[in-house]
Amino acid sequence: MEKRFFIQRFFPGKDKRPYWQEYVLHCDSTWVVLDALEAIRSKQDPSLAYRRVCRHGICGSCAMNINGLNRLACETRLADLPSKIRIKPLPGFPVIRDLVVDLTQVYQNIEAIKPYLITKTPPPAKERLQSPLERKKLDGLYECIFCGACTSACPTFWASKHFLGPTALLQACRFVMDSRDEAKQERKKFLKQHPSLWQCHAILNCVEACPKGLNPFEAIVLLRKSLLKP
C-alpha cells in the first residue's frame, strides 16, 4: 500500500523554523510507523533524525506525535492509519533535531521524586517480601516506560515549568503505594510542599496519550487522597 508521510523537519541552528517534508513510500501492510521511518531513512533521506532502540514498546524512545496523537512509532500500525500520515516531535519539549526532543525536564522531575525504594530497616536475609494484595496495589503504576508521551500532552506542563508532570507524579504514586518503601512520610512531605499535585486540572490528555494504557490522573487522585489521610 502507498502512504504519504508529512514529517516535520527542524535542525536548530541550521533551519530558521520547522517545515513539513513529504515522502511517498510503498509500505507493507504489516509495517508499523517505525518501519516506514527506517525505510525513508535508508532509501530516501539519511538525514532524517528520530530515536528508536528496542522496537518492541519497551524502551519508550520512539514516542512521537502521529496524526495529532502521541504514540509509539514501533507500536502504531500503518494499516490503522489513513493514507496521509503527519508525524511531528512530541509537543511541549525543545526539539534537538527533527523527531528527537530533549526530555531533560521529564527526567529531572522523575529524579526529584526519588524513583527508588528507600529503606531504613536492616535488609532481611533474602528479600523484602510483599503479600499478593500489596503487590497488586502497584498494578497500573509500575509499567511506565518513561516515553514522556503523557507529559508532552499535558497543557499544565506546557504552562508551568514547575509542574512535575504526569510521568513523575505516576512514579511518585508508585513508591508511595509500595508496602516495602520506608520513606512515605518524607515523600508525602515533599508532595505537600510542592504545588504540582494540586495544579492538575483533570484535562486527562495524559490518559489518552499513554501508550501503555496507564492512568496518571488516577495516580494523582490516589496521591491526593493519601496526603489527606493523617
Smallest distance, Å, CB 55 to ligand FES?
5
Is the CB of residue 212 less than 8 Å from the CB of residue 152? no
Smallest distance, Å, CB 148 to ligand FES?
11
Place of cell 536475609: 125
Is the CB of residue 192 less than 8 Å from the CB of residue 227? yes
Q: Which residues of the shown chain bind ligand FES in the complex (CB under 6 A)?
A: 52-55, 57-62, 72, 74
Those residues with Cβ within 8 angstroms of residue 10's Cβ, 6 or more apart along the chain or in another chain = 17, 18, 19, 89, 95, 97, 98
Q: How far apart are CA 215 and CA 175, in angstroms?
A: 16
52 vs 128, which CB is nearer to ligand FES? 52
171 vs 199, which CB is nearer to ligand FES? 171
Smallest distance, Å, CB 32 to ligand FES?
9
Smallest distance, Å, CB 130 to ligand FES?
28
Indicate the SS3 state at residue 69.
Answer: strand
53 vs 203, which CB is nearer to ligand FES? 53
32 vs 172, which CB is nearer to ligand FES? 32
Indicate the SS3 state at residue 3.
Answer: strand
Host H or E run for residue 20: strand 19-26
38 vs 218, which CB is nearer to ligand FES? 38
Smallest distance, Å, CB 58 to ligand FES?
5
Q: How far apart are CA 218 and CA 223, in angstroms?
A: 9
